Structure 1
Amino acid sequence: MRKLQISRRAVLAGATATAAAAVVAFDPANLGWLTEAEAETQPAAIRVPGLDGELVVDEESRTEAADDYGHIVHRMPVAVLRPGSVRDIATVIRFANKHGLKVSTRGQGHSTFGQAQAGDGIVIDSRTLATIHRVGTGHAVVDAGVQWLDLIKATLAQGQTPPVATDYLGLSIGGTLSLGGIGGATSHHGLLVDNVLALEVVTGTGEIVRCTPSIRPDLFHAVLGGLGQFAVIARATVRLIPAPTTARVYHLSYPDLPSMTAAQRTALADRRFSYLEGQLTPTENGWTYLLEGVQYYTPPSEPDDEALIADLAPASTEITDMPYFAWLNRIYDLVQQLMALRLPGPWINVFIPDEATDAYVTEILAETTPADAGGVVLLYPVPNERIRQPFVRLPDSPVVFLLAFLRAVNPPDEAETQRLIAVNRSQYDRVVAVGGTHYPVGAIELTEEDWKKHYGPAWSAFRAAKHTYDPNNVLTPGHAIFR
């Protein structure tokens, strides 16, 4: 069958007529979408199978889907699906296969480099599938469009919590599980993808599949951290544990990088903190180094402050108690304010082998100005053994450090943004040279050869899973893994 070659110009021309109305068919003669009224007058129209939700082509919806938190890459789709059911996702993916379209899924749009975009394709807006179906003992069943913030509110009402939370809770569950999901509690519980009990997904051929570690395990493990290459996550059953009520926060300052990372390694070795991260802050004269440890508890039990920090030798210590939920949600309002500013965000997140961390980070910091930092800089260790999904690629080291530059270019400046993307590429090449990998949420232009190197010995399995579950290369083109 002839594949539809849909031009953006043709769709833009027809978008004014259809406005925000849902489309039901495609006009192969004029290469445009049709509403119900228009389709009735076009005998050659190709009908989109019935949907519980809607497929829209108005400029506002498509423009939103062509942007993300990074505001760097803009690829305009020809339509946006607002699914009313999992069936809608399957229907549109089958339609895309038949007519040569790409499909991507967008949750909260928190990517930074177009990873969830689909130029001249269809973007699935998962926000219309956002139901918390059940919170049971030890688990919750949720749609992919649910935000972690809403899930945590619901689980805390029953005295439970996900074992790991990302620092910002406004992310969608489906989007996070497609990438990995890292946070301060990863030192105990792995990534968010390591705490999933079951999935309902739609493969790249439009098949709806329920999978678990024992039912279709190959698909289950491929999808978690699989960058949306094999299936769209529609629903997840995530693990819950008993929730504490209080977080005791320890901010420990150090005079230099080796002192901080040594203290982090000591704290990681015996898992003394419930949460372990670290921050680097540029100053006029260099950098400040902060170990951030948190101990969760429920009174009347209480942490032993002296025992927790006695051998960590900080230069200064600040200890604060706050409610558990307030701690988890501490940066939500700040991120919402930053989002409203629409600042370009050329982020980079890399994993570094333990033995290379101090030298690599010291070298990077020596050439990084406050403007280059451009926002929050995170550095903290995680144990490799706790991260178990095969397509989340880590260095071959028992302990790895995450280094993240979460930049914002303020005021917005295209030349500065492009300069920082070039800096990212240099830092990426150097981390690969010391055995590192990257956490693929940042602004790095990767070639197919880069991706092969990233997956290393897992590349053949990754490619085989793509051939099995998305043989027409329909899904998630934004990562540009398969050209």
Structure 2
Amino acid sequence: MSRTPFSRPGPSRRTVLRGLTVAGATVVGFDAGTRSRSASGEARTAGLRGTPRLDGTLVTDDASLTAASDDYGHLVHRRPLAVLRPGSVRDVAAMVRFCARQGIPVAARGQGHSPSGQAQVRGGLVVETAPLAAIGALAPDSATVTVGAGARWSDVVRATLAHGLTPPVFTDYLELSVGGTLSVGGIGGQAHRYGVQVDNVTALRVVTGAGEPVRCSPTRRPDLFHAVLAGLGQCGIIVEATLRLVRAPRTVRHYLLTYDDLGTYVEDQRALVEEDRFDYVGGQVFADARGMFRTYMMEVVAYGPPAGPEPDDAALLRGLRHDPARAQIADLDYYAFLDRIAPAVAALKESGAWTFAHPWLNLLLPGDHAAELSAPVLDALTPATLGPGVIQLYPIRRDRLTSPLFRTPDDPVPYLFDVLGAVPPDDTAAVGRALATNRAAYEAAAAVGGTQYPVGCVPFDRADWRTQFGSAWPQLAAAKRTYDPHGILTPGQGIF
């Protein structure tokens, strides 16, 4: 094995689209001096007459509405009535109350990462959370930090690293909003050790569907707290979150280990997370020289001081059945590791592939069935059908998960299986084939207890959602009735 600069074959890791910022928007507001509606702020639709005074702006121009009717998937387009760019949490509460009275649906939008219209709302209000991006001072005990829902994880970790601390779990792409990932779960390669991102939240500030700003935690309004984390926006809009912090390493040792057999790869990954040997365990699947997706690359990381001891290669790699001749080992700055896909993202944007359609498949598979369920999907793929995308397959530990709405198989070590394909946006036939493949893969997984990780494009109906939430469905339904009594929040998910 050789110690080399960090590199890897094949396409980049998971990619996402940051939200669009549209200039020259028409503003619906009030003149600060007269407290009357300004001439330039006349609502362009009758449904918005009588809107409350705002610290921020309500925009209705064509460019803003068009931007809000698209997302990273470029598959679904629902045009809203207006977009709120809040100047305060008070703005969010006031506009949600207004919409509740009028029966206008509402959805929150962070960085526009949703691939299937989940944060879109036809004829309703889109609340952009990006302005709510404040990062507070660390708590006196340095165990937590409170941040706005629109803060990007990249900004959060830079702020906490100044104190030698870090949130424990990250998605691979750091330019996502805190509120966005907490609404779905937030899986990363550290999840086998710390749980997913929602398992590392100690308190929330939420605007309910009735327009009530509420603070909640595991001991204060716990029903709301647990209905919002991984609750897909059904019971409240996250406006602020208090995040748990742990000691950050200065550097990490990064290993890329190559396998040619899927079963061996899966078994070795499972052993590593059961033994808690590494701080990060991930992995990807690549096409081999014949164009078959049968090259498996495990990505594992050990944190150095002060978060852990100096990594010992021999001890960490003992017993693993990878090909030693192809192993790559590098020491990386901690932030450089977290932000390692940034160059690939820049290349995708420069090439134009960033604007492709993204009919993604995201599943959580029972560990005992991970190889048998993923193999037929991989065998049916070609580099052409995947496009400039990526495939991920790696385990987490169920005993580290505490959020009831983050649904996983009833298996000690479930596996995340992502086929993050990219298709030219005008190739509707290819999109249709991908969605049909996604549905078939989900049905095979569900038959043995698998679930969807709901950030992708698996066609779902309401019965599917009941199956997805399983024993947690009554809890979610009760919270929906209590905290969104008018049923206006996040209809794009199609749950209620």
TM-score by length of 1: 0.90
Distance in 2 between the 1:343 and 1:195 partners? 33
Q: Which residue of the other structure, out of 364, 369, 386, is the alignment partner of 1:373?
A: 386
Select which of 435, 443, 446 maps to 1:432.
446
* Secondary structure, aligned partner of 1:50: coil
Q: For residues 379 and 106 of structure 1, what CA distance do their matches in structure 2 show? A: 28
Separation in 2, partners of 1:313, 1:39: 67
In structure 1, the partner of 2:298 is 291
| Residue in structure 2 matched with residue 274 of structure 1 by the alignment | 279
TM-score by length of 2: 0.88
Distance 1:196 1:381, change over 3 A: same
Q: Give the one of 249, 252, 255 matched to 2:254.
A: 249
**Structure 1 residues 418 and 400: alpha-carbon distance in aligned structure 2, compared to 1, 3 A threshold:** same
> Secondary structure of 1:399's partner?
coil
Aligned to 2:321: 313
**1:357 corresponding residue in structure 2:** 370
Offset of 1:455 from its aligned partner? 1.0
Query: Shift in Å at residue 35 of structure 1?
Result: 5.7
**Higher RCO by CA contacts (8 Å cutoff, separation 6 or greater):** 2
Question: Which consecutive residues of structure 2, in runs of 5 or more, have no partner in the other structure?
Answer: 1-23, 31-36
**Residue 470 of structure 1 pairs with residue 480 of structure 2:** no
CA deviation map 1:356-414 (0-9, x unaligned): 11211122222222233331100001111111111111111111000001111147522
* Structure 1 unaligned spans of 5+: 1-18, 26-33
For 2:46 and 2:381, the matched residues in 1 are separated by: 62
CA contact (8 A) 1:55 1:79 kept: yes
- SS of 1:47's equivalent in the other structure is coil
Whether the aligned pair in 1 keeps the contact of 2:227 and 2:475 (CA below 8 Å) is no
Aligned to 1:304: 312
**Any idea what SS the aligned residue of 1:253 has?**
strand
d(CA) in 1 for partners of 2:284, 2:46: 62
CA-to-aligned-CA distance 1:147-182 (integer Å, 9 cap, x gap): 000011111111110001110000000011001001
1:206-236 deviations in Å (ceiling 9; x for gaps)? 0100011111111111100000000000001
Relative distance call for 1:43 and 1:297 in structure 2 (3 A) is closer
Match of 2:6 in 1: none
Aligned partner of residue 452 in structure 1, secondary structure: helix
Q: 2:347 & 2:61 partners in 1: Cα distance?
A: 27
**Match runs of 1:52-451 below 5 Å:** 52-136=55-139, 137-283=142-288, 284-286=290-292, 287-298=294-305, 301-316=309-324, 317-339=327-349, 341-374=354-387, 375-410=389-424, 412-451=426-465
Deviates more, 1:299-308 or 1:222-231: 299-308
Q: Note if contact 1:104-1:476 (Cα within 8 Å) is conserved in structure 2.
A: yes
- In terms of mean alpha carbon deviation, does 239-248 or 453-462 score higher? 453-462
Check whether the contact 1:128–1:145 (CA below 8 A) recurs between aligned residues. Answer: yes
Give the counterpart letter for 2:329 in structure 1.
I
1:21–1:35 Cα contact (<8 Å) kept: no
In structure 2, the residue corresponding to 1:127 is in which secondary structure? coil
What secondary structure does 2:52 align onto? coil
- Tell me how far apart the structure 1 counterparts of residues 381 and 273 of structure 2 sit (CA, whole Å): 27
- Structure 1 stretch displaced more, 191-200 or 246-255: 246-255
